[in-house]
């Protein structure tokens, strides 16, 4: 009787507990954020061979980029993973999904997980390559920390950077030591989320180009750079004038026209000063007119002054830039707030185009004559505008620009000297990027990835320097 009663009570207890268990189970399921629940559905139902999980926002990273650049089909978590335990849950579900995973991209915050925890996770999946991109928050984050918090986070990053090269089956990347990235507010949508173009740049620079690869020779340098850059932001931040009322029009070759995002030279000026910028650059273009060019600087200046889009080749950055300016500014817009930046010369040197003509100073087939004509055209239409000439920047091509080109046996410095003398003759401002920004034969490989075009750090230097000249 007692034994039967015990069985009855036990059975009743199980029956009574089932609803409670169900409620608890449902609570656990539905207490998860909607983004996490949706991620779990996709993990179980979709086909993919790589995943991207992150402890900081990665909304602006594109799954299509993994297909285009790496031939990988990616699952990207839409949930910003708040803790390492949740990341482990994601990995367990991915392992049970039935997909063969080739690589795992992890966005890691060193202040939220230890290197040992991460290594333990990596060791659980020995057939997978882990690509770790350490968090790179903006200057707003670093300046918001108390001194105690700041020192602790620096210590966390340093531990990760110094220990990362020892972790097997993984690659670590850290773009967050770069001033050009952290200091420009237009690179970010919020202190943790970069814009779409910068997200693509970070992905490509980290993996394909390996610019931010944490290896033994660079790990300590990255840690030192991080401390130096963020320390300066906290104790001696650079200040820039408010140029929100200014309109800046950039004319130039690929140094201007090949870069159109917030890390371009116009983008840096806009981000740091608030100016309205118009990128009218044209990759491959020359200042001087030559037979193979559809249009050169004098024609571009004339088309701009006459508001004549039909004179410009369509599907080019110069067309898009001039079109944008014309759509946003009427013919009677005051020119006191207008500034033209002219940056030409590298292609003129590469092609050996004539530097000047003594017989005809306005000869547009010469470098000096073309710039002189363009400046005259712009100041005739906009007499109160400011003009800034930029010298061609240093390049490593052709024996550091010392190899003579053209009938005149010109070297790069001939074009540089022409801009400097023109600025005095025309009484316009000048930025000497060749001499004054510290890029030379001793360090060119730090700033010129293809020996000619400035990288993001160099473009940041040029942009900052330009701001100082704008009246």
pLDDT score recorded for residue 206: 87
Residue 120: in which H helix or E strand, if any? helix 115-123
Assess whether the region 33-235 and the region 247-469 belong to the same CATH fold: yes
Give SS3 for 361. Answer: coil
Question: How many residues comprise the chain?
Answer: 471
C-beta of residue 320 within 8 angstroms of C-beta of residue 302: no
Residue 170: closest CA among 217, 134, 220, 221: 134
C-beta of residue 278 within 8 angstroms of C-beta of residue 250: yes
What CATH architecture is 247-469?
Answer: 3-Layer(aba) Sandwich (3.40)
Burial category of 242 from C-beta neighbours within 10 Å (exposed 0-12, middle 13-18, buried 19 and up):
exposed
Residue with tokens 């004549």: 308
pLDDT score recorded for residue 10: 54
E strands within 109-226?
129-134, 170-173, 188-190, 193-194
* 33-235: CATH topology: Rossmann fold (3.40.50)
DSSP-assigned beta bridge partners for residue 211: none
Residue 133: closest CA among 54, 219, 215: 54
Give the alpha-carbon dihedral of 193, 447, 317, 315, to 10 degrees.
-90
Along the chain (471 residues), what's the average pLDDT of each consecutive run of 10 residues? 49 50 44 90 97 98 96 97 96 97 97 96 96 98 98 97 95 97 98 98 89 93 97 96 96 97 98 98 97 94 98 97 97 95 98 96 97 98 98 97 97 98 98 96 94 97 97 88
pLDDT score recorded for residue 375: 98
Q: What SS3 string covers 44-91?
A: HHCCCCEEEEECCCCCCCCHHHHHHHHCCCEEECCCCCCCHHHHHHHH
Ramachandran assignment for 397, one of left (phi > 0), alpha (psi -120 to 50 degrees), beta (any other): beta
pLDDT score recorded for residue 12: 52
- Per-domain residue ranges of the chain: 33-235, 247-469
Query: Rounded CA gap, 64 and 54, in Å?
Result: 17
Query: Rounded CA gap, 364 and 411, in Å?
Result: 20
């Amino acid at each position: 009787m007692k034994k039967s009663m015990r069985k009855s009570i036990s059975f009743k207890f199980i029956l009574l507990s089932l609803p409670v268990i169900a409620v608890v189970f449902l609570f656990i399921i539905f207490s998860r954020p909607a983004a996490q629940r949706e991620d779990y559905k996709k993990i179980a139902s979709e086909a993919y061979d790589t995943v991207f999980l992150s402890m900081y926002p990665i909304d602006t990273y594109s799954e299509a980029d993994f297909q285009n650049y790496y031939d990988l089909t990616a699952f990207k978590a839409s949930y910003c993973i708040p803790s390492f335990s949740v990341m482990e849950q994601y990995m367990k579900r991915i392992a049970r999904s039935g997909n063969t995973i080739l690589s795992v991209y992890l966005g890691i915050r060193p202040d939220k997980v230890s290197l040992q925890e991460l290594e333990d996770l990596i060791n659980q999946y020995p057939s997978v390559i882990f690509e770790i991109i350490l968090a790179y928050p903006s200057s707003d984050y670093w300046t918001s920390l108390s001194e105690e918090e700041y020192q602790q986070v620096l210590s966390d990053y340093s531990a990760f950077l110094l220990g990362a090269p020892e972790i097997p089956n993984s690659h670590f990347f850290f773009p967050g030591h770069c001033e050009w990235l952290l200091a420009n507010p237009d690179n970010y949508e919020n202190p943790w989320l970069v814009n779409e173009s910068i997200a693509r740049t970070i992905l490509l620079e980290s993996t394909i180009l390996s610019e931010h690869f944490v290896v033994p020779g660079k790990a300590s340098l990255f840690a030192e750079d991080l401390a130096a850059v963020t320390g300066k932001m906290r104790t001696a931040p650079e200040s820039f004038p408010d140029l929100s009322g200014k309109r800046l029009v950039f004319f130039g070759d690929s140094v201007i026209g090949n870069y159109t995002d917030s890390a371009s030279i116009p983008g840096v000026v806009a981000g740091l000063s608030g100016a309205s910028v118009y990128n009218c650059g044209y990759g491959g273009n020359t200042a001087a007119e030559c037979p193979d060019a559809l249009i050169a600087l004098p024609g571009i200046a004339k088309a701009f002054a006459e508001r004549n889009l039909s004179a410009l080749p369509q599907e080019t950055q110069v067309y898009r830039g001039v079109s944008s300016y014309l759509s946003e500014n009427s013919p009677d817009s005051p020119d006191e707030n207008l500034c033209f930046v002219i940056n030409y010369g590298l292609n003129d040197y590469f092609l050996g185009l004539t530097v000047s003509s003594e017989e005809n100073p306005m000869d547009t087939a010469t470098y000096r004559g073309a710039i002189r004509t363009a400046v005259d055209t712009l100041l005739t239409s906009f007499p109160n505008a400011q003009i800034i000439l930029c010298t061609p920047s240093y390049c490593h091509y052709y024996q550091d620009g010392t190899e003579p080109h053209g009938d005149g046996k010109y070297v790069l410095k001939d074009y540089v000297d022409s801009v400097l003398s023109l600025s005095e003759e025309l009484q316009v401002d000048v930025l000497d990027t060749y001499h004054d920004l510290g890029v030379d034969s001793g360090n060119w490989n730090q700033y010129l990835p293809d020996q000619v075009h400035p990288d993001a750090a160099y473009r940041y230097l040029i942009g900052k320097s330009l701001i100082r000249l704008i009246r």
